[in-house]
Structure 1
């Protein structure tokens, strides 16, 4: 190919496009082959799946608990069996919100779905990780605080001091009622 004339700009562009197409086609085929094998890999790992006990502050029989239970039950499918969440209603394992906090810290429960504002005496900043009077009342406002303004990182720092990991916020709309 030493004797070939130099490529024109249009030939070079065409060769680059063909080269990109070949690469994309090869990558797509490799990705497809990987995806076909992935269920088997995931199922092999599922044998080592973990079951986490998770308690909420919602009482059994309430709409909140029913939704929490459905959410927990969806984890086995979406994780390919790697994580199973066993839901518990309020007071089933830990007697109250403070006991719930301690149950996770000591490993009796692996996770919780709490109302953090009730821990103002233990961790004052947790009041601002949940609904509070005259605070954000729409999901988009909470999204901005947690994912745009750094509140998620702050929450994780606060919980890390307690030996726990803050996964993320669970939001409500404007239906929260506060009373004395």
Structure 2
């Protein structure tokens, strides 16, 4: 094979790899990319996570590493964890302004700026991970996401997935709906608004501060992600009641943000590298989350005495009714949010029958 053909093959490998090949193959290099770039393009990524936090923090780092590798050194993306360059909840504005070219966070954190953003992370009683990917990739979600962020000069990508979450760690059991009344919970997104209607005070706290807030009694409970990420933050040392299902976050899409001007300034090859690095992570992270959550849940129960509880059906039923009310109210006065909500719910209704048959009934059939 000639050297020219070898280079062409390597480029195809770099831009068209499957998730498994990107993660494990040595054939990631793209010499042609480096040849086109006289100097290394230096980017910064800011995140909402502690560095290498199991789940989203690791996704952020892998996206940086993958871009660096797939570009064969033509690009170098340096990661700044939450608080190193900007606070956790300032990631979007930092990318929008161009202070950092990339960010990694969760779209629901921008609800105050764009109410419709919450749908691109998850919504209560909403799409599961596979369904969410189908919506974004195949059913109009990505186009709506792009349109929502375009006025801010930001291009969004799915950049990870922590899977379905748990409902959180509670100091005291929840046996009736009245047991929620008066509690202070760290709970993110629309789940907090649902809980508020049942007497809960939702508190917004970045992940780096949740342990101390629970330890000192600032909150009576915390919800974050699944067993793997949660146990890495040490909640099991403080409380033992671990509730599910995570009705408030049935999906956990991580969001990769790219400054639109910076992205457009790249060659087409490098633009494809950035997009593919994010896409691959959405698959890799979900597989990792499923495996690690299963192992971590077993460890929490067997070695740390954690009691996994389910909300009573009367509690879930009440929360489900309240969820529909909150979603309707939440999107009434914002045209973009309403359009996204209607598209999202159409996708959920379309996917429901197949999901029930292919996932729910197969799991039930296994016994």
| Aligned-partner SS, 1:166 | strand
What TM-score, normalized by structure 2, do the two folds share? Answer: 0.37
Alpha-carbon deviation of 1:177?
Answer: 4.2
| Aligned-partner SS, 2:98 | coil
Deviations 1:106-162 (A, max 9, x none): 111111111111211110110111022212232x11111101111001100111022
On the 8 A contact 2:59/2:160 being kept in 1, the answer is no
Alpha-carbon deviation of 1:33?
Answer: 6.0
* Cα distance in 1, alignment partners of residues 135 and 112 from structure 2: 23
Which moves more between the two structures, 67-76 or 78-87? 67-76
Cα RMSD (Å) of the superposition? Answer: 2.8
Name the structure where strand makes up a greater proportion of residues.
Answer: 2
Q: Which blocks of at least 5 consecutive residues in structure 1 are unaligned?
A: 1-27
On the 8 A contact 1:142/1:171 being kept in 2, the answer is no
Q: Find 1:168's aligned residue among 158, 169, 184.
A: 158
Alpha-carbon deviation of 1:66?
Answer: 3.4
Q: Which has the larger radius of gyration?
A: 1
Relative CO higher for 1 or 2, CA cutoff 8 Å, sep ≥ 6? Answer: 2
Alpha-carbon deviation of 1:70?
Answer: 3.2
* Cα distance in 2, alignment partners of residues 74 and 30 from structure 1: 25
Other-structure match for 1:18: none
After superposition, residues 11-22 of structure 1 pair within 5 angstroms as none
Alpha-carbon deviation of 1:87?
Answer: 0.9
* Cα distance in 1, alignment partners of residues 74 and 59 from structure 2: 21
Other-structure match for 2:63: 71
* Cα distance in 1, alignment partners of residues 33 and 159 from structure 2: 28
Other-structure match for 1:19: none
Does residue 51 of structure 1 match 2:42?
yes
Runs of 4 or more, structure 1, over 4 Å off, are 28-31, 36-40
After superposition, residues 21-170 of structure 1 pair within 5 angstroms as 32=5, 35=8, 40-64=31-55, 65-97=57-89, 99-138=90-129, 140-168=130-158, 170=160
* Cα distance in 2, alignment partners of residues 67 and 163 from structure 1: 23
On the 8 A contact 2:31/2:72 being kept in 1, the answer is no
Other-structure match for 1:4: none
* Cα distance in 1, alignment partners of residues 52 and 158 from structure 2: 25
Alpha-carbon deviation of 1:40?
Answer: 5.0
| Aligned-partner SS, 2:36 | helix
